[in-house]
Amino acid sequence: MVLGESLMKFYWLKQSLVILFLVLLAFIANFNLVDPYLTMENTLLKQLVIVVSVSLILFACNQLLYNYAKNKNGFMQHPIWNKMFIILLVGLMISFVLFIALFLTTPLQDLLSQHAWLMFLVVYYFLFFTNLFILSLVHKMMDSTLNVEKKLVMTWICSSLLIAIVLFMV
């Protein structure tokens, strides 16, 4: 029983370190928004920094999922995972509409402008669930015998490419 408790403590330590990394990344980004240390005139360079930052966030999200999958052997084995992409897409659309409605009808806009770090919570939320949505698509399209690690790597690559394409199109 001591080994099981030790593994759970190690699991929570790894998860806590990933979350600490995300908080640190948000703190650095918030500091740069409030008091820019480096000003970049080149738009392409700004987009590249954003893509790398988002890719790091997506990697951290995948690391959270990987740690969970290593702790729970039955991760992604339930039959609902075959329809999870529909559930997550509907959830993301509802979340997006709700966020826009709150942004337009409540003082959320003023709150986010006064406390820019709150926006990072919103960004992390949408990035995590977008990443989970892509994972569910990868799970649906790939062979079901493929292990979770390979699915998460494929998810990270697809998510990073999607974000890069969206940012470079804008």
Give CA 12 to chain center in angstroms. 19
Strands (E), 60-139: none
Range of the domain at 132: 2-169
Domain count, the chain: 1
pLDDT at 1: 47
Closest CA to 54 of 114, 126, 115, 1: 126
Q: How do the pLDDT tens digits run along the chain, 170 residues long?
A: 455 666 677 888 888 898 898 888 888 777 766 666 656 666 677 777 778 888 888 888 889 888 888 888 888 888 888 899 999 999 999 999 998 988 888 887 888 777 777 788 888 899 899 999 999 999 988 877 788 888 988 999 999 898 888 877 87
pLDDT at 42: 66
Full-model pTM: 0.82
Give CA 158 to chain center in angstroms. 13
CA–CA dist 44, 46 (Å, integer)? 5
CB 135 within 8 A of CB 65: yes
